[in-house]
Structure 1
Amino acid sequence: MNKLFSTVAAALVACVTLVSAHAQEVAGDAKAGAKKNAMCIGCHGIVGYQASFPEIHKVPKISGQSAKYIASSLNAYKKGERKHPTMRGIAASLTDQDIADLSAYYAASGVVEGTSALAAAPAAAGHAAELVAKGNCTSCHGASFSAPIDPSYPRIAGQHDDYLFVALKSYKNDSSAQVGRANAIMAGVAKQFSNAELKELAAYVGSLPSDLKTVPESRFR
């Protein structure tokens, strides 16, 4: 019986590994993504559009983020690691191919070929500089806050500061069924700070030069 159990367990592990590898190998098609973004453009395709949950804040700029970060985020919503109800509902409806296509589309959206990489960000002043050092933010997000060490990490320079504040606070919340994000690294960082400090940190990062954009859809222009 133990031998049979071990054999079945090994087969299940192999199956999960194959499925996971397949999901990682799905190639995204930006042109296909442009035809699948109907549920995205109502929020992310309108400049300055505001969400009202869990508090009023601008929805994030996602044009110009890396495809791997967008895919990672959508999969986190799909798995419930990010708990925003609207985004969870949208992500749950997407296949691996949908996610790959949408990620490819937004990674290319608004990008101008030949644009130089952003230089190191202007140093924060006063208390904000202490917060950046305490959080060791550049170790993951790069000196420009737009060159993360892993493509599944976000570019955060120039992101809406009210969104950054809400996102940072969400990493401190691991008990609510509707609010919060499960990420051990970011939870460890965010929980070092008071909400007032997170707001100050978000204001600095949001003020930086950015690769991120909100690209309006032609139907909204």
Structure 2
Amino acid sequence: MNKLLLSLSAALVASVTVFAAHAEGVQGDVKAGAKKNAMCIGCHGIVGYQSSFPEIHKVPKISGQTGQYIAASLNAYKKGERKHPSMKGIAASLTDQDIADLAAYYEASGVVAGTPALGKAPAASEKVNALLTKGNCASCHGESLSKPIDPTYPKIAGQHSDYLFVALKAYKVEGNANIGRGNAIMGGIAKQFSNAELKELANYVGSLPSDLQVVPQNRFK
């Protein structure tokens, strides 16, 4: 298993390097991103908003997420590595500059200078701790699952549990036109678990202290 993870890690590093080279020279602008987010706020700017297709779940909190992860995700939807009809359509309409600007905007969105650092994650149950250890989650997502070791990896602490569950299941799906995520590392990890185990992991991770937020627009308050 360790050899498999090392091999998959090398593959991911290579893909991240390709992405970085592709994005080289494209600098995101927060103010520009604030003017380009009209297609985003209708889902990600409404507290409690749920997606109804292809599965029902709260749309993810993206304010306060790492910008490079947001950019990598949008590019994955654009290339079809992540299968979600609505997100693919939106991402396909974005230029590299649009993606960089939106990523910069959402990384800064809701962040208040001087806010105390997050507290340490509460201890998991013995069962959930065994699942976290099996998945080696902290090795990528960092301390308390809120400090990823690489900015192209997401903060997952405090993300909506139902979204996390759907996302984790998607890494196991193959051959579906509307559901699925092509990531060698996460696919290899997710396939080790039953859906019931993934749900337990998602429920724990979703309960943790978080930098992630839904920042509503004035029109939606």
TM-score, normalised on structure 1? 0.89
Give the whole-Å Cα distance in 1 for the aligned partners of 2:214 and 2:165.
19
Give the whole-Å Cα distance in 2 for the aligned partners of 1:175 and 1:150.
29
Please list every run of 5 or more consecutive structure 1 residues that lacks an aligned counterpart in the other structure: 1-16
Matches within 5 A, 1:94-109: 94-109=94-109
Work out whether 1:112 is the aligned partner of 2:112. Answer: yes
Structure 1 counterpart SS, 2:24: helix
The answer to which of 81-90 and 124-133 deviates more is 124-133
Instruction: Specify the alignment match of 1:182 in structure 2.
Output: 182
How many residues matched? 205
Per the TM alignment, residue 18 of structure 1 is displaced from its structure 2 partner at its CA by 11
Identity %: 75
Q: Deviations over 1:31-75 (max 9, x none)?
A: 010010010001000000000122211000000001101000000
Give the whole-Å Cα distance in 2 for the aligned partners of 1:107 and 1:92.
21
Give the whole-Å Cα distance in 2 for the aligned partners of 1:23 and 1:139.
25
Work out whether 1:60 is the aligned partner of 2:64. Answer: no
Please list every run of 5 or more consecutive structure 2 residues that lacks an aligned counterpart in the other structure: 1-16
Per the TM alignment, residue 123 of structure 1 is displaced from its structure 2 partner at its CA by 1.6
Give the whole-Å Cα distance in 2 for the aligned partners of 1:48 and 1:26.
33
Work out whether 1:27 is the aligned partner of 2:27. Answer: yes
Matches within 5 A, 1:191-210: 191-210=191-210
Matches within 5 A, 1:155-166: 155-166=155-166
The answer to which of 143-152 and 121-130 deviates more is 121-130
- The 1:102/1:19 distance shift into structure 2, 3 A limit, reads closer
Structure 2 counterpart SS, 1:185: helix
Give the whole-Å Cα distance in 2 for the aligned partners of 1:18 and 1:47.
35
- Runs of 4+ in structure 1 displaced over 2 angstroms? 17-25, 114-120
8 Å Cα contact 2:77-2:91 kept in structure 1: yes
- The 1:18/1:188 distance shift into structure 2, 3 A limit, reads closer
8 Å Cα contact 2:57-2:162 kept in structure 1: yes
TM-score, normalised on structure 2? 0.89
Q: Deviations over 1:78-123 (max 9, x none)?
A: 0100010100000000000000000000000000112243243222
Q: Whose Rg is larger?
A: 1
1:152 is matched by which residue type in structure 2? T
- The 1:220/1:179 distance shift into structure 2, 3 A limit, reads same
